[in-house]
Structure formats: C-alpha cells, structure tokens
Chain A
Amino acid sequence: MSEKKPALWLRIYSFLVYAYIYLPILILIIFSFNTQKLNIHWEGFTLAWYDKLFHDSQILLATRNTLIIALISTVVATIIGTMAALALQRYRFPGYAASETVLYIPVVIPEVVMGISLLAFFAMIKLTLGLVTITISHIAFCIPFVALVVRARLHGFDKSIEEASMDLGANELVTFWRVTLPTIMPGVLSGAMLALTLSLDDYVITYFTAGPGSTTLPLRIFSMVRFAVTPEVNALSAIWVLTVFILLFVATYAQRRRA
C-alpha cells in the first residue's frame, strides 16, 4: 500500500492500542519490586520477591519440568514437521489432500477438546499422566504448526540449486545437508521458535495431561494467581516476560543479519 504517512487520528489511535497492549505488562513488572505484600499501593523498592522465587522449590521444579518438555517437544516437532512441510511443498503423493487437511485440526478444534480427548486416550491405553504424557501431547499440537509455518516459508524455493548440486556430483545426503538445509533454515528456525513458544505457553492441554509431580510453570502460575495476588507472582511473570523479550530480540536480530 501507500508510502504516504497515515492520517493523524490513525496514528494517535494506533499509539493508544499499543499503550493498551503494553501498559498492563509494564505495571506488572514495576509492581514486582514493591515491598507491600498485598501489592495494592506502591510502598518501596525491593528485590526480596526475586530472592524468594529462587528459593521456592516448587517453582524451581516447575521451571525444570517446563524446560524439559519444551525442549524435547520443540526438537521432535521441528524435525517431523519440517519433513512434512518438505513433502507437502515439493511432492505429490497418495493421500496428499488428507495429510494436508489433518494439519488444520489444531487450528479449527478448540484446545479444551484436544485436552480432554488426550486425557481420555491416555486413560484408555493406561499411560500414567506425567511428564511423558505432557510431552507427547505438546509434540502432537506443535507438529501441525511447524509444518504449516515451514511450508509457508518454502514458497519460492528454487529446486534447480539442488539439481545443480547433484549434477556436480554430490549425492542426496550431501545435497540435503549442504544445499537444502541451509536454504530452508530460516523457515525451520521460525517453526522451531513457534513450537517452543506454544509449548512454554500452553496451559489448557497441559492441564488435562499433567499428573502429580509434573506441574509446569503455567500450571503453577495459575494456582498462584487463583490463590492471591502477590508480588512473587509479579516477579515470576517479570522474569518470564523479560526472558522472552530478550530471546525474541536476539532471534530477530540474528535473522536480520543473516538476511
């Protein structure tokens, strides 16, 4: 669209929407440094809540669980999903339409339905709920998103560079490793980022597939929030938000430099 500057009212309006998006998060972070336990008015600056957080064994366990689940599901879903993206973008094979349709299931079915269906399924096959069931479930809902995102990034991939590589004597494996993979890497990375975020963020499906001892951070935060509004929750949230912001900035910056 146009390169003209948008109208003034539109700029003011958009500024207000951005304020609406960011103010709650800003307030949340500021009040993680509040000395008042009820966290209603600002009393004074402290880092005590952060200190408390780092000695809270339940939080530490939940953090460990969350990271284990997120890392495993990201790696597995990215590999499997990228294969599917390559298949769908570059080949025609029997069952193509069906394979493609299945990828849209998590987009069109509410999370709560997926949660209870997995819960019922694990109960049926008598698999004890815990880290394993959570990870299996996370991989399941991450694969379609990875496949769809990577596939979208594969548009315009030039097959002739692969043919050139083969003509120059490289076999399929070398061609894949030295030519195909580096070319599709930005797409694969954005798929992996999405899988990582989906897994870290997931509350609903985790809630239905978690067992005793497998609490994750979103589950822990939920029960803390339900119980009381304390600066400790703010501190935990602030760490989370800042970690994600920093990671995203680094990832975006790295991609810009590459491009």
Chain B
Amino acid sequence: MEKPMRKFSLIRTLREKPSAQGSFLMLPTNLYLLVFMILPLILVVVLSFLARGNYGNIVYKFNITNYTRLFDTLYLKILGYSLQVGLETTIISLLVGYPLAYYIARSPARQRSLLLFLILLPFWTNFIIRIYAWIMILRGEGFLNTFLQWLGVIQEPLNILYTPTAVLIGMVYEFLPFMVLPLYTSLEKIAQAQLEAAADLGAPPWKTFLRVTLPLSVPGMIAGTILVLIPAMGMFVVPDLMGGAKTMLIGNVVRNQFLTARDWPFGAAVSMVLMLLTMAFTLYYTRKAGFGEELLV
C-alpha cells in the first residue's frame, strides 16, 4: 500500500496517545452540552438585547431597554423579595438541618447510611406530590387546623395556605436534604482525634463545638447554601401552588414573560439577572471556601 488508510491511523492514534483517548471519551458530552446547553444559554444572552414586536414576535434591533425596565420599582421589589425568600429558606434549612446532620454523623457507623437513606427517600418521589401533601395539611379545613382546633389551641382556622409562610414551609421541605447531605459530608470527615485533642486540652463540649466542629463544617455549610439558594431563587412552582396571587418570585416573572406575556427579550433579561446573581454568589463562595466533595450530593 502506498499510504496508510485514514481509519487505521485514527485507531492507532487512539491506541497510542492517552490524551486522544481522553478527548475521544469526552467528545459526546462536550458536543451534546455545547448544542443543548451552551448554545441555548448564549441565545438567551442575545435575546435579552433584542426587542419585542407588536405581536409578541422578536425584533432584531440591539437595545438595552429590557435591562433598564428592570429598575422599575415593581421588579426591584420582586427581586428583593426573591432574595429574601431564598435567604430565609436557606437559613431555616441550615438551622433545621445542622443538628440533624450532626446527629447522623455522630451515630454508630452502621446506622449512618440508613439514616441518610431515610433523609433522601421521600425526595426521590415527585416534588409536585410533596407540595400537594403540604397543601392538604395547610389548607383551611386541612389537618393542621383540624388538629389545632381539636387541641383547643385555636377557635378559628388559621389562614396559612396561600401566604408567604406557606411558600417558606414548602420550600424548606423541598430543599432540606440538599442542606443535610453536604453538612453531613463535612461533619463526618472531622477526625475523632481532633475532638479528643480539644477535650484533652480542657475544652468543655460547647467550646469544642464552637472552636473545632463548627469551623471545620464551613465547607459543608457553603455547599449546602449553594445547593439550596440557587434552586430557591429560581423557584416558581411552590409560589404558584402554595403562595396565592400575592407571592411573585423572579422565577414567576421569567415564566410569565415567556409563556403568557410573550415578551421573550424581557424574560431573557430577567433570567440573565437571575443567572448572574446565582453565578456571582457561587463563584464568590467557592473561591473563598475551596471545597469539592461537599457539592456532590
């Protein structure tokens, strides 16, 4: 043969060069995500600088009015409120989840995987179903009111469903495991020797906790915060089902602009703001903390 066939030289390259093998294995993922994740996101960036036509169509004219419109008090309020709900959800999940993660990390090794499994189990079921369960509990004639009236604590049913409180209850229930898992990963890694050293040096348990355990679990707290805050900020399903007409989060605005108002360029600009917020937040904290394993639930 005068020259080797291309096919064989490709196979030979794959056999002989490990870096070619790596690139080859990575290729499908890179191609797929380029087309169906990165390109769509770039499209949103472009879209946010275009304008809406009279019929909900897109006019290809560069402008930044979509962004200036965001400074309307209405949208600033929604943005502020979304941040507030996101932070409240995160803080409550952290406060509820920390002792639980601590408990699991302190349990005998044999029980730990079962306890973790029990935290995860309900969350492998559908999340609309979990919200529905809370609607049944919180509504006017629901179980909470029936129970409290039976106890005699209240005379009139409480109006919890379709209030911001209901949204918070739903969100915390939804995101709690995302907080517990990374916290557990952090807490479980703390060596017994470090705790014993603190005790040997005369530290009382509370001091050992404050000066050793708590600082060492910071990566877990940050990973948990990222995993809770980001989905909480973009959430629109819980406010839709549990919040009533008054609770509008930034996720609801994006949804409405795309599906009902049909102002895609403005919706794109709102998503850009949401995306930049979450990315800035993630970058800031990952740079500061330097962790990896905790983020991988």
Residues A91 and B19 in contact in the complex (CB < 8 Å), given A25-B122, A225-B241: yes
A206→B110 CA distance, assembly (Å) = 39
Report the minimum CB–CB distance from A124 to chain B (whole Å).
6
Residues A28 and B136 in contact in the complex (CB < 8 Å), given A18-B118, A83-B29: yes
Of the listed stretches B1-9, B35-43, B68-76, chain A binds B35-43
Contact residues of A: prevailing secondary structure: helix
Complex interface bits, B270-281 against A, C-beta within 8 A gives 1, otherwise 0: 010011001100
Contact B15 A119 (CB under 8 A): no
With a cutoff of 8 Å between Cβ atoms, the chain B residues found around residue A229 in the complex are 132, 135-136, 139
A103→B26 CA distance, assembly (Å) = 11
Complex interface bits, B224-236 against A, C-beta within 8 A gives 1, otherwise 0: 0011001101111
Report the minimum CB–CB distance from B237 to chain A (whole Å).
6
With a cutoff of 8 Å between Cβ atoms, the chain B residues found around residue A149 in the complex are 296
Contact B29 A147 (CB under 8 A): yes
Contact B44 A117 (CB under 8 A): yes
Closest to B213 in A: A1
A21→B133 CA distance, assembly (Å) = 11
Contact B103 A21 (CB under 8 A): no
Cβ-defined partner of B251 (8 Å) among A6, A112, A117: A112
A46→B121 CA distance, assembly (Å) = 27
With a cutoff of 8 Å between Cβ atoms, the chain B residues found around residue A244 in the complex are 124-125
Cβ-defined partner of B22 (8 Å) among A40, A90, A114, A200: A90
Binding site for A on B (CB under 8 A): 15, 18-26, 28-30, 32-33, 36-41, 43-44, 47, 96, 99-100, 102-109, 117-119, 121-122, 124-137, 139, 141, 143, 146, 173, 176, 187-188, 190, 192, 195, 226-227, 230-231, 233-237, 240-241, 251, 254-255, 258-259, 264, 267-268, 271, 274-275, 278-279, 282, 293, 295-296
In the complex, the 8 A-B pairs of residues with the closest C-beta atoms, listed nearest first: A110-B234, A91-B22, A93-B22, A87-B25, A117-B40, A24-B133, A121-B40, A84-B29
